[in-house]
Amino acid sequence: MTDELLAGYPVVVDIPVAWGDMDYFRHVNNIVFFRYFESARIEYLERIGFRELTDEGSVGPILASTGCRFRRPLTWPDTVAVGARVTEVGEDRFSMSYRLVSRKLGEVAAEGDGVLVSFDYAAQRKVPLPERVRRAIELLQGQ
């Protein structure tokens, strides 16, 4: 079930919900969903070799925006499976989509998105997406 819901997401990470992720309303707090998305994003960036400052010129990704649409409340105990995929690649940026599935419910609990910009940390400005990163995304998405 969960696998079908995450078809098309080349990167999927499993994360156990912590009891302490729940807030006053006794559901997982909204900001924790962004932590879950971040874990999937970082894994994706690792897979395309674009996680942080590279040796070839201090170019790395910077998160420009992100959002979440909440579908179902989450409660402990549960394990979430979070999928990440790239939906669009531009000159100096790319867009990601996240899908968070509750393994306990077998249902989508949230959908998210994010825009990552290629940034030269030394020069402090946007730069074109490195060609090898572009190819790594194509390769990973083409699987």
Q: Return the number of the residue (1 or 31) whose C-beta is nearest a second copy.
A: 31
Q: Output the smallest distance, CB 143 to a second copy, in A.
A: 21
- Out of 6, 11, 12, 32, which residue is the one contacting a second copy (CB under 8 A)? 32
Check binding of 139 to a second copy (CB under 8 A).
no
Check binding of 79 to a second copy (CB under 8 A).
no
Q: Output the smallest distance, CB 55 to a second copy, in A.
A: 17
Residue 70 CB burial class (10 angstroms; 0-12, 13-18, ≥19) = middle
Task: Say if residues 65 and 115 touch (Cβ distance below 8 Å).
Answer: yes
State both tokens at 116. 């990552």
Bridge partners of 100, per DSSP, are 82, 110
**3-state secondary structure string across 33-87:** HHHHHHHHHHHHHHHCCCCCCCCCCCEEEEEEEEEEEECCCCCCCCEEEEEEEEE
Bridge partners of 113, per DSSP, are 67, 97
Check binding of 57 to a second copy (CB under 8 A).
no
Check binding of 18 to a second copy (CB under 8 A).
yes
Check binding of 125 to a second copy (CB under 8 A).
no
Considering only residues 82 to 121 of the shown chain, the ones binding a second copy according to CB under 8 A are none
**Residues in touch with a second copy (CB under 8 A):** 13-16, 18-20, 22-26, 29-32, 34-35, 38-39, 42, 52, 63-70, 76
